[in-house]
A and B are shown apart, each in its own frame.
Chain A
Amino acid sequence: MPRIGVFVCQCGNNIESTVDTQKVADELKEMPGVAYTCSYKFMCSSPGQEMFKNAIKDNDLDGVIVSACSPHMHEKTFRKASEAAGLNPYKCEVANIREQCSWVHHDETKKVGTVKSLDLTRMMLERLKRNKPLKATSIPVTKKALVIGGGISGIQAALDIADGGVEVVLVEREPSIGGNMARLSETFPTMDCSQCILTPKMVEADLHENIKILTYAEVEKVDGYIGNFTITINKKAKYVDESTCTGCGECWEKCPFKADSEFELGLNKRKVIYTPFPQSVPNIPVIDAPKCPKIQKDKCGLCAKVCGPGSIDFTQKDEIVTEHVGAIIVATGFELMPNEHFGEYGYGKIKDVVSGLQFERLASSSGPTGGKIERPSDGKTPESIVFIQCAGSRDEAKGVSYCSKICCMYTAKHTMLYKHKVHEGKSYVFYMDIRAGGKRYEEFVRKAIEDDGAMYLRGRVSRVYEKNGKIMVQGVDTLSNGQQVEIEADMVVLATALISRKGADSFAQKLGIGYDKDKFYSEYHPKLKPVETVTAGIYLSGTCVGPMDIPESVSMGSAAASKALGLFSSDKMAREPITADVNKTTCNACWDCVTACPYTAIAKTEVKDREGNIVQMLAEVNVGLCQGCGVCVAACRSKSIDLAGYTDEQVYAAINAF
Chain B
Amino acid sequence: MKIPYYPGCTLNTVAKPFDESAKASAITLGFELEELSEWNCCGAGFPLTNDNIMGLAAPTKVLANARAAGETVTTLCSVCYNVLKRTNKALNDDKERKATINEFMELEYDGSLNIVHYLEILRDTVGFDKVKEAVKRPLTGIKVGAYYGCMLLRPGGEVGIDNAEAPTIIEDLLSALGCEPVDFPDKIECCGAHLAMGKTDVVERLSGKIMTSAIESGAEVIVTSCPLCQYNLDKSQEKIKSSDAGFKTVPVVYFTQLLGLALGQSEDETSLKDNQWDIRPLLAERGV
Contacts and interface: CB of A to CB of B under 8 A. Distances in A.
Contact of A344 (B155, B157, B166, B216): B166
Interface string A390-423: 0000000110000000000000000000000000
A340 B156 CA distance: 14
Nearest to A464: B185
A349 B166 contact: yes
Nearest to B184: A465
Given A463-B185, A472-B185, A398 B156 contact: yes
Contacts of A397: 155, 157
A16 to B, nearest CB: 50
A398 B157 CA distance: 8
Given A397-B157, A398-B156, A467 B166 contact: no
Task: Pick the most buried of B156, B163, B164, B166: most chain A CB atoms within 10 A of its CB.
Answer: B166
Given A397-B157, A398-B156, A343 B164 contact: yes
Contacts of A463: 185
B51 interface: no
Contacts of B157: 397
A340 B164 CA distance: 12
Given A397-B157, A398-B156, A343 B185 contact: no
Contacts of B166: 343-344, 346, 349
A369 B152 CA distance: 43
B23 to A, nearest CB: 33
Contacts of B124: none
B74 to A, nearest CB: 26
A121 B132 CA distance: 83
Contacts of A467: 185, 216
Task: Pick the most buried of A342, A343, A349, A466: most chain B CB atoms within 10 A of its CB.
Answer: A343
A493 to B, nearest CB: 18
Contacts of A472: 185
B165 interface: yes
Interface in B82-108: none
A342 B163 CA distance: 10
Nearest to B187: A465
Interface residues of B, number: 9
Q: Looking at chain A, what size class is its interface with the partner chain? A: 10 to 19
Contacts of B164: 343
Interface string A322-345: 000000000000000000101110
B185 A465 contact: yes
Nearest to B162: A343
Interface string A625-650: 00000000000000000000000000
A227 B258 CA distance: 72
Contacts of B165: 342-344
Interface string B171-193: 00000000000000100000000
A466 B184 CA distance: 9
A340 B165 CA distance: 10
Nearest to B157: A397
Nearest to B183: A349
A342 B216 CA distance: 24
A399 to B, nearest CB: 12
B134 to A, nearest CB: 30
Nearest to B163: A343
Nearest to B164: A343
Interface string A598-639: 000000000000000000000000000000000000000000
A467 B164 CA distance: 21
Task: Pick the most buried of A342, A398, A472: most chain B CB atoms within 10 A of its CB.
Answer: A398
A397 B158 CA distance: 11
Nearest to B166: A343
A343 B188 CA distance: 12
B245 to A, nearest CB: 22
Contacts of B163: 340, 343
Interface string A373-401: 00000000000000000000000011000
Nearest to A345: B165
A466 B186 CA distance: 11
A84 B47 CA distance: 72
Nearest to B216: A467
Contacts of A340: 163
B170 to A, nearest CB: 15
Nearest to A341: B165
Interface in B201-218: 216
Contacts of B185: 463, 465-467, 472
A355 to B, nearest CB: 17
Interface string A431-469: 000000000000000000000000000000001011100
A342 B164 CA distance: 10
A496 to B, nearest CB: 15
B191 to A, nearest CB: 16
A556 B111 CA distance: 50
Task: Pick the most buried of B156, B163, B185: most chain A CB atoms within 10 A of its CB.
Answer: B185
Interface in B145-168: 155-157, 163-166
A180 B275 CA distance: 57
A340 B162 CA distance: 13
Contacts of B155: 397
A206 B164 CA distance: 48
A466 B156 CA distance: 23
Interface string A464-479: 0111000010000000
A105 B163 CA distance: 57
A540 B157 CA distance: 34
A467 to B, nearest CB: 7
B241 to A, nearest CB: 23
Contacts of A343: 163-166
Contacts of B156: 398
A397 B166 CA distance: 17
Interface in A335-377: 340, 342-344, 346, 349
A222 to B, nearest CB: 37
Contacts of A346: 166
Given A398-B156, A463-B185, 7 more contacts: A343-B163, A343-B165, A344-B166, A465-B185, A467-B185, A467-B216, A472-B185
Interface of A: 340, 342-344, 346, 349, 397-398, 463, 465-467, 472
19 contacts: A340-B163, A342-B165, A343-B163, A343-B164, A343-B165, A343-B166, A344-B165, A344-B166, A346-B166, A349-B166, A397-B155, A397-B157, A398-B156, A463-B185, A465-B185, A466-B185, A467-B185, A467-B216, A472-B185
Closest 4 CB pairs of A and B: A343-B165, A343-B166, A465-B185, A344-B165
